[in-house]
Structure 1
Amino acid sequence: MSYRKRIGLLSVLVFLLWSYLAVPSYAEAFSVGTAAKGSAESERTEKLQRLETAAERLYNNMQQGNAPGALEAMEILIDALEGLSFKGLTSVEGIHALAESIMDTRETLARVEVSQDEWTGTSARLRLAVNSLNHREGALWLQYYKVMADNLQSMEKARTGGEPTILRGAFQEFKDRYEVIRSAAIIARDPAEITKFESWLSYVERLSNDKTLDMGALEHALDLGEGMLKELFGRRADEPVFLPITGYDNPWYWSTLIGGWIVLTLSYAGFRKYRANQNVSSVKREEDRYNHYRL
């Protein structure tokens, strides 16, 4: 980390920590009754919404490579942080993760040479972090569970098949996706959960990078990873990670496919019945004609 970035990160972190630890405002300190408290909470909700809107706007501009729009959105985002209390929203570690995401994005925007990959990555991480701050339930980062579970399953298949190259590739995808959601996860989860998950991640990385893979150790590590992943995403312990069918995260796909086969089968059966009726009618007409001539 460069000296300039360290100073910038420290200033943003101090600002956010001040907001976290700040003495309540005059209205909050001297108001009585629930009406004033409700007003303060409503004001914070409004500020959080402005912050999230700015993060969404920043994300969209950076995805499109729109530098002027991204710079303007970043200024709006910084302004939205002013006076925002983070108490009860996240931990001190979460505030540090948010500050780091903001500084990474600002530094990316300040570079003369534009890297679309960096613009895409940093803006996505910041967007997920702000969204996680504003949403306890249904946060966007939770949608990464399926793709990371697929990566974990690919690692397990590569292990059982004795394919180290595929295993390393699946692990790298898993790690890259975690890096995207890391700030959002730190904001939402207990610091102890994050420490435990990242310790496991470092352990698997070391095992997967060994020249000769220890398949027994990897098997044990991936078994642990199933529970770690569920815990990180708040999933049920009995919910399977290693599914028999992967690659389709939309359940409507299978419903439509099965329904299509049923309709096709019924249509074919109806067509066969129609043809059979036509054949029977034709034979009956021939028989009537033959009996007519006999009489």
Structure 2
Amino acid sequence: MNNAIRKIILYSLLGISFMLGGLLPYGAGSVAAASDSPKETTKGLVQGDKEKLALFEQAAEELYRDMQEGNTQGAHQQMERLTDSLEGLSFKGLTSVEGIHALAESIIDVRETLARAEVSPEEWASSSARLRLAVNSLAHQDNALWLQYYKVMADDMEKMHRGRTKGSPALFREAFLALQSHYAMIRPAAVIRKDASEINRFDSWMSYVERLSNDKAWDEPSAGKAVSQGERLLKELFGRKTGEPVFLPITGFGSPWYWSVLIGGWIVLALAYTGLRKYRADQTVMSVHAKKDRADSYRF
């Protein structure tokens, strides 16, 4: 069976599952995580769907572990288990048509990676991680694993900003390639959960910056505007507040000895003041034999 036929079958299976989902009754409930994933749950599924989704996520988690460890036999077994767990699984209410397409692409990518005669540890690691994030995003509406990439991509954006301010096209390009790699990793998971318009905006920005970073003539003003726009789009993609900065300039660490002396000085002063008060308190002696000493006892 060639790749085209496999893709048709997989897309058909996912599409039928999505359409049949509209015929299934819905109730209140949640899907418990089947692994060490975040404990957030997907609401609005009946018990049967919750169990199927949990099995689907568990298969993806075990497939991820086997492929990360290079366990060829185990990876092939888990791939078949994951495909079988799609049967009867309803995607109604879980994601959009675009999300189903992204999930199908991730599954096909892993299947084709496993089918290659030559094992590539890097491809095994990346494709299985991408699928794991996608399935986790499907099963968890809030606090899915892919959201943890915000800090990673924000760091990439900060390095792009640094390359721009230093007038270094090479540093800017290097940081962008890292951002591009991280975005490719979380994109299927983001498509499953986010509105298509947000994904399209970020895709368009990535394409623009890629062309900008490839230009032989360095356009520093355009690079600066691109980074500012990317900061806003990144926050939108990860559902962060508009007023929340992606990165902040770090100051005050240029002279670590200065801070050490300053903090140490305050500690020494505090201890000295406490010791002085204790010393003065010990010098306050009230005699019971001589009344004339009573007035002197208050000198200190």
TM-score (norm 2): 0.77
Report the Cα distance in structure 2 between the residues aligned to 1:268 and 1:71, rounded to whole angstroms.
67
Paired amino acid for 1:206:
R
Deviations 1:21-70 (A, max 9, x none): 12656xx47xxx969xx996111111111111110100000000001111
Q: Which residue identity lines up with residue 15 of structure 1 in the other structure? A: L
2:242 matched to which residue of 1? 237
Q: Matched residues in 2 for 1:263 and 1:89: separation?
A: 56
The SS at the match of 1:242 is: coil
| Alignment correspondent of 2:154 | 149
Q: 1:39 to 1:203 in 2, by over 3 A?
A: closer
| CA distance in structure 1 between the partners assigned to 2:187 and 2:49 by the alignment | 25
Structure 2 residue 72 is the aligned partner of structure 1 residue 74: no
Q: 1:15 to 1:243 in 2, by over 3 A?
A: same
Q: Counterparts of 2:116 and 2:63 in 1: how far apart (Å)?
A: 16
Please name the residue that 2:139 is paired with.
Answer: 134
RMSD of the TM alignment (CA)?
2.9
Q: List structure 1 segments (4+ residues) > 4 angstroms apart after TM superposition.
A: 261-271
Which amino acid is 2:102 matched to? A
Residues 50-69 of structure 1: pairs in structure 2 closer than 5 A: 50-69=55-74
Q: Which amino acid aligns with 2:227?
A: L
Residues 253-281 of structure 1 deviation map (CA, whole Å, 9 limit, x = unaligned):
xxxxx9xx97998599869x99xx9xxxx
> Structure 1, residues 223-252: CA drift from partner, whole Å, max 9, x if none?
110110000011110111122249xxxxxx
Task: Find out whether 1:111 has 2:116 as its counterpart.
Answer: yes
Runs of at least 5 residues in structure 1 that lack an aligned partner in the other structure: 247-257, 278-295
Paired residues of 2:154 and 2:246 also in contact (CA < 8 A): yes
- Specify whether residues 135 and 264 from structure 1 end up closer, same or farther in structure 2 by C-alpha distance, changes over 3 A only: farther
| 1:223 correspondence with 2:228 | yes
Which structure: greater helix fraction?
1
CA 1:263 to 1:213, structure 2 compared with 1: closer, same or farther past 3 Å?
A: same
3-state SS, counterpart of residue 91 of structure 2: coil
**Distance in 1 (alpha carbons) for counterparts of 2:237 and 2:215:** 26
Q: Which runs of 5+ in 2 are unaligned?
A: 29-42, 252-258, 279-300
> Is 2:54 aligned against 1:49?
yes
Residue identity over aligned pairs, in percent, reads 52
- Counterpart of 2:5 in structure 1 is 7
Give distance in 1, aligned partners of 2:134 and 2:107: 9
Q: Does 1:163 align with 2:168?
A: yes
Q: 1:23 to 1:92 in 2, by over 3 A?
A: closer
Give a deviation string over 1:130-153, Cα, whole Å, max 9, x none: 000001100000000001001001
Q: Which one of the candidate residues 194, 199, 210 is aligned to 1:205? A: 210
The 1:268/1:77 distance shift into structure 2, 3 A limit, reads farther
> If the length of structure 1 is used for normalisation, what is the TM-score?
0.78
- Between the aligned partners of 2:235 and 2:243, the Cα distance in structure 1 is 9
Matches within 5 A, 1:79-98: 79-98=84-103
Q: Which residue of 1 aligns with 2:298?
A: none
Aligned counterparts of 1:210 and 1:5: Cα–Cα separation in 2:
36
Other structure's SS at 1:81 match: coil
Q: Does 1:172 align with 2:170?
A: no
Aligned residue type for 1:211: K
**CA positional deviation for 1:10:** 2.2
2:287 alignment partner in structure 1: none
Q: Spell out, residue by residue over 1:139-188, the C-alpha distance to the aligned partner (whole angstroms, 9 max, x if none).
A: 00000000100100100110010011111000000000000001101101
The match for 2:285 is: none
